[in-house]
Amino acid sequence: MRSLSSFIVVIVAVAVACSFGIASAQTANAPSPGVQSASTPQASPSVDTEMRELKLQLTFMQKEVDTLSNLLTLVLGFVGLLTVYGMIRDYVVSSADGKLTDLWAKGESTRQSQANDIHQNFLKSSAETIRLVNDTLGLAKDASERAATATERKARTELESLDYQAKHLLTRVPSKDDRALTSNPMLRTELEGLAERINAFDVYRVILDDRISLTPHCHFVRGMHAHLRQHFDRAIESWMMSAMHEKSDNALKASSYYWVGYENNNLGRFKEAARNFEEARRFAEGARKYELDRIAIESLFFDKSTKVEDALARIIVLLNEVEHSPGSGDIVSVKDQILGTAGNMAYVHGRDRASKADQVGAKQAFQQARDFFSRISDRSKWSALGLAQCQLQLNEDVDLAREQLQRYVKPAAADEFVKRVEHRTKALARFTELVCSLATSPKDSPEPATIYSQMLDALGAVDNRLTVYSLRQRRNVYKDEFQEDALAMIREATGS
């Protein structure tokens, strides 16, 4: 529009210039009045002449007006054409802009519609995908749950079988022999086989999380197996799990705590063992309570911080209590065990008195020990050994004592060495053979030296954490002290 305005201004300027040029030309061509009066005579012009001049001037002026009118008409016509052109151009531009706007709006609307369609299709596809994934997961979950249910059902069936066999095994252990599971070859073999199955099941049980747990009897069997493998802390852990299991009965609790105390005794934790036996007594019944009292007192005796006289006094009190209890087979058996423990304590007390040159006190202690051993109704190798040693110390029935050692105690010890699997028990069996050999063999016999060497071989296989029962001190001691006690008994017997 700016160029159009400029163009109109230029046209108007040209028209004005042309009009001025024409007017100037016409003025120049008209006769000048001054000149005419100078060349004509000085007479006054006539009326006709003035009329002709006026008509001539009027004619020139009329031509000039016509020229300007034509030029103005031309300019106005041109301006009108330009105006119409501008209006048409504006209309066309405006119409084109409107169409472009409409086209852009329609395009934008189409793009938005397409975007919405794409978005809706995406949402539908996503929803369908999610539905398919959920359906797949649901199928997988159902299959997994069915598999887990089947696995759990199978595991529970296996656990029931293991629990039944564990209970059946423990019912075959004699009430008077707590260590039959380790000393009886048939029971020990069955125990090991069952324990291996339980251990394998426990590994398989991990995939079932906490839905299935071992029964207390299975824990007990695992503890016995760990004990035989000398995994002492693991054995104690299994027995404690058995004792503290919510489904454990009192009898199993008593047995579990007993074995925890037994293991602690073997490891030299005597005071802790005494507490374990006292805990076992809480769940025991009848004569078993007295037996656990005896073992607790003996464990304190093993601890050298306990005076022998104090331990002996406590065991005598227990003996009197048992003797006033109603008689039964179990009570008689427990009484024999208490008499044996009392005899061992009195024997050690006699050796202490003798080491301090208190011959009178030593003789009284040995006589007391002899009386305890002689009152035992069910003679075992240990009571026979104790009685024979007291007789030799007192120099009473020496031949009978040596015969008992040679014909009964020594073969029984050799048999135990063969049958028992625990290295510490094998070492004790060899020590027992050595004591018998020293008492019955001539002083120049090589037999004691041979047995001593065999004892050292057995002792070497004992775990350094364990204690071994010394026949010289009648208590559990560590390996180096056990060996020293054996050498001391050799020196005493040979006088070297």
CA dist list (Å): 192 to 1, 83, 121, 174, 230: 113, 120, 67, 18, 13
CA distances from 79 to 13, 76, 83, 84, 285 (A): 13, 5, 6, 8, 135
Measure Cα distances from 477 to 116, 141, 282, 484 in Å: 90, 60, 28, 10
Tokens found for residue 54 = 């006026």
Quote the CA–CA distance of 39 and 42 in Å, as a whole number: 8
Q: Which residues of the chain have a pLDDT value below 50?
A: 2, 4, 9, 16-43
Given a contact cutoff of 8 angstroms between Cβ atoms, the answer to whether 386 and 343 are in contact is: yes
Contact 478/268 with Cβ under 8 angstroms?
yes
Output the CA torsion sign for 366, 372, 377, 381: negative
pLDDT of 327 reads: 66
The residue assigned the tokens 């009118």 is: 69
What residue spans define the domains of the chain?
2-29+52-144, 402-496
What is the chain's length? Answer: 496
pLDDT of residue 133: 79
| Cα(27)–Cα(203) distance, integer angstroms | 135
**HEC assignment per residue over 128-142:** HHHHHHHHHHHHHHH
SS3 7: helix
Q: d(Cα 163, Cα 176) in Å, to the nearest integer? A: 24
- HSE at residue 257, side-chain half, CA atoms within 13 A, is 26
Cα-only R_g, the chain: 65
* Contact indicator for 265, 476 with CB cutoff of 8 Å: yes
Q: Tell me what pLDDT residue 469 has.
A: 97
Nearest to 429 by CA among 440, 443, 418, 437: 418
Per-residue model confidence (pLDDT) at position 30: 45
Among 309, 314, 371, smallest CA distance to 339 is for: 371
Residue located via tokens 């802009």: 97
Contacting residues for 447 by C-beta, under 8 A, at least 6 apart: 437, 441
